[in-house]
Amino acid sequence: MENEKDLSERVEVPELTRVIGQKFPVLDDGFVRLVDYMGCDASIVQAARVSYGKGTKTVSDDRALIRYLMRNQHTSPFEMCEVKLHVRVPMDLWRQWIRHRTASVNEYSTRYSIAIDNAKKTLPGEWRLQSDLNRQGSGEAIDTDTGENLSLRENQVQTLAREVYQERIDLGVAREQARKDLPLSTYTEAYWKIDLHNLLHFLALRIDEKAQLEIREYANVIGSEIVRRWVPLTWEAFVDYRLGAMVLSRIEIEVIALVSAGNRDAALRLLSESGLLSEKEGILKPGREARELAEKLAHLGMKAPWGK
């Protein structure tokens, strides 16, 4: 198209090209390595302007257009960019990772090859209690004295499992059967190719503080070391409109308006009528949605109406 950047040749982002093949360490023996990429911020702009045709001639600022696309959830232009990563990750985290079914994946096969001889180890100060509020999450750290024993027992389990596995291999047991008692802490490797739109969705979920700490470390490395270098304008918009943004429901907007107007009683009525608050023995009990609202109110410098 007229006056559009010529992207007929392969796009190069020098800052990203420089780190192709570099292993960014994660956890004790994991890594993320960039294998290849396609596209850049300009590719997103080009795709959007092809869709809009000459109607975008007044939109000369690539940054403004990318921010508009991100802000209004126009996702298809971001699919024009792709990245291929080589990752080394513990199997328990890989189970969460592979739930994102919008990528092309080839994983290291322990049916054909000997299992990777390493497992994720937990330091004494890294053990965490189960969260009281989140059934699938963790809470406060366990004391280091208890952690010392937990780490010792972990090492015993991992060592025994590896010894049993190796005995089976040495006896000629089929690899597909010999592997069955390896712990989920065993590392695996995979090639993972995904477009930018779906990668950003992955990062939004896995960088979130509610995600497991260990997979957050992978997501943070992918975001800061790869996506930030690759598409800096998109990364800025993503941080502003996804990572740093706040989603409010209709009820939450109404409650915030009432709280800001000092109408606490009306806010409590609305919360109770909507099922976000319940009363037991004269005490107001917030449900999960109400607790999340309290966090949003705190972020805005406001107190939940059911608090003291």
Q: Active-site residue numbers?
A: 206
Question: In the chain, which ranges are continuous DSSP H helix?
Answer: 14-17, 41-52, 62-71, 91-97, 144-170, 175-178, 196-207, 213-221, 228-230, 232-238, 250-260, 264-273, 288-299
Which distant-in-sequence residues (6+ apart) come within 8 Å of 40 by Cβ? Answer: 11, 13, 81, 230, 231
Q: How far apart are CA 70 and CA 76, in angstroms?
A: 10
**Residue of 45, 186, 43 whose CA lies nearest to 115:** 186
How far is the C-alpha of 48 from the C-alpha of 43, rounded, in Å?
9
Tokens, residue 293: 């609202």
Dist. CA 218–CA 222, nearest whole Å: 6
Output the CA–CA distances (angstroms, integers) from residue 275 to 146, 157, 250, 267, in the order listed.
40, 46, 14, 12
| Residue 39: partners with Cβ closer than 8 Å, 6 or more residues away | 11, 80, 81, 82, 196
Please give the Cα distance from 216 to 165 (Å, whole number): 30
Residue 8 CA to residue 13 CA, distance in Å, equals: 15
Q: What is the spatial distance between Cα 42 and Cα 84, in angstroms, rounded to a whole number? A: 19
